[in-house]
């Protein structure tokens, strides 16, 4: 036995046992929001192989087909945002070279949705650089949602903070998902954003739920937060009741001109761990590899799929930054033997 094995074996056995207890409980308590900080920290601390093995067991139980969802993102209103999110190229106060645009026309949005459908996308997500939409914006987005739904695509929107009535109007128009990220842990939040507080995010998520829509909620890792803060962030997400149906995990894209422009990249293995812990703690959620995939490369993305990621943003553009070409992603999925989710196929949730 090597010194390294001698050092890790007792820890491994102990951690496996404590994880097994937590794991069996998680099948019933996860939905009710009972993940403790220490249970999530224990997952993060597991030897990587064990963590991925647990994540794979969860993934196979909840997604026996193991397919990958493709979500296409379109920026329906770019730049000029009054908020100060330290990572965001669309905040008006940072000199990032992003030009503010008006809201896209209905025709342009429907043309983009048609193209996404033709490229094989499952979901069409409309993003707007707003702190919160005005009621007249909601009317226009309602028409977009109706048009995109009529094409047979799943719909998602991310428009900033919502009032209950606005969430209701979007839901009545047929919006399937609303994306609103917690982004990080509560204690790190104010180091990145000062123009709103964590509770504002939680309130909007409540309004989305109350209006009957599914929640798409995740965040960004690699902004300089600590491991403990990543644990706290995922614990918070997993304890939302119910936890989100969609969990986008963004890897910070450091954009020149933003306060986080010089942020040192996170260790890719820590990103893989974050994906695995998201999979285990939110077993029936679609865990989406979101911003920052280009920088990860094929091998790390493959590890993320092994760790339970089962959704990607698909198409060469995110909102203002670039994403892998569709052809690159199709080749990656084919090389890994991963099938694309069929649109509107019922998902098996145990």
Q: Are 283 and 22 in contact (CB under 8 A)?
A: no
Name the active-site residue from 123, 230, 288, 293. Answer: 288
Query: Which of 23, 35, 87, 313 is the binder for ligand SAM (CB under 6 A)?
Result: 87
Residue 244 binding ligand SAM, by CB under 6 A: no
Residue 288: active-site member: yes
Please state the length of the chain: 350
DSSP string spanning 71-88?
A: EEEEEEE-S-B----TT-
**Stretch near ligand SAM under the rule CB under 6 A, chosen from 100-108, 170-178, 180-188, 261-269:** 180-188
Distance of alpha carbon 216 from alpha carbon 231, whole angstroms: 19
Which C-beta is closer to ligand DTB: that of 211 or that of 291?
Answer: 291
Total of chain residues touching ligand DTB, rule CB under 6 A: 16
Pairing assessment for the beta strands 286-289 and 219-221 based on DSSP bridges: unpaired
Which positions from 127 through 186 interact with ligand DTB, judged by CB under 6 A?
A: 127, 158, 179, 181
**Among 263, 285, 260, 304, which residue's Cα sits nearest to residue 85?**
260
Q: Is 29 exposed, middle or buried (0-12, 13-18, 19+ CB in 10 A)?
A: middle
Which positions from 66 through 105 interact with ligand SF4, judged by CB under 6 A?
A: 81, 83, 85, 88, 90-91
Query: Which of 220, 221, 237, 303 is the binder for ligand SAM (CB under 6 A)?
Result: 220
Q: Phi/psi of residue 150, each to 5°?
A: -65, -20
Distance of alpha carbon 235 from alpha carbon 326, whole angstroms: 33
Residue 72 binding ligand DTB, by CB under 6 A: no
**Among 81, 88, 215, which residue's Cα sits nearest to residue 156?**
215
Residue 211 binding ligand SF4, by CB under 6 A: no
The interface mask with ligand SF4, positions 99-138, x = CB under 6 A, is ------------------------------x-x-------
In the complex, the residues that contact ligand SF4 under the rule CB under 6 A are 81, 83, 85, 88, 90-91, 129, 131, 160
Q: Which residues are catalytic?
A: 81, 85, 88, 125, 156, 216, 288
């Amino acid at each position: 036995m090597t010194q390294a094995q001698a050092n890790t074996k007792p820890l491994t056995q102990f951690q496996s046992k404590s994880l097994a207890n937590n794991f069996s409980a998680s099948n019933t308590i996860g939905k009710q929001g009972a993940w403790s900080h220490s249970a999530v920290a224990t997952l993060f601390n597991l030897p990587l192989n064990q963590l991925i093995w647990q994540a794979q067991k969860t993934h196979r139980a909840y997604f026996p087909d193991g397919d990958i969802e493709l979500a296409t993102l379109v920026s329906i209103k770019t730049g000029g945002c009054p908020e100060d999110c330290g990572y965001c190229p669309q905040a008006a106060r940072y000199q990032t070279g992003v030009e503010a645009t008006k809201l896209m026309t209905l025709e342009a949005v429907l043309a983009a949705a048609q193209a996404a459908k033709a490229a094989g996308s499952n979901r069409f997500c409309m993003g707007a650089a707003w702190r919160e939409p005005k009621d007249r914006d909601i009317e226009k987005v309602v028409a977009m949602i109706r048009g995109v739904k009529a094409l047979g695509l799943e719909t998602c929107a991310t428009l900033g903070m919502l009032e209950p009535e606005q969430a209701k109007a979007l839901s009545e128009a047929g919006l399937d998902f609303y994306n609103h990220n917690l982004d990080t842990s509560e204690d790190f939040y104010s180091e990145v954003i000062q123009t709103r507080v964590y509770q504002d995010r939680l309130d909007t998520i409540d309004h989305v739920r109350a209006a009957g829509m599914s929640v798409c909620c995740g965040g960004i890792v690699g902004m300089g937060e600590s491991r403990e803060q990543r644990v706290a962030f995922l614990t918070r997400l997993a304890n939302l009741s119910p936890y989100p149906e969609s969990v986008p995990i963004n890897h910070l894209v450091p954009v020149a001109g933003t306060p986080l422009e010089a942020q040192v990249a996170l260790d890719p293995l820590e990103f893989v761990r974050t994906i695995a812990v998201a999979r285990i703690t939110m077993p029936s959620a679609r865990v989406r590899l979101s911003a920052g995939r280009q920088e990860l490369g094929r091998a790390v993305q493959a590890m993320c799929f092994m760790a339970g990621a089962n959704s990607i943003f698909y198409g060469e553009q995110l909102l203002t930054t670039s994403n892998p070409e569709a052809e690159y992603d199709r080749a990656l999925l084919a090389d890994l033997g991963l099938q694309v989710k069929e649109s509107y196929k019922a998902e098996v949730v145990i």
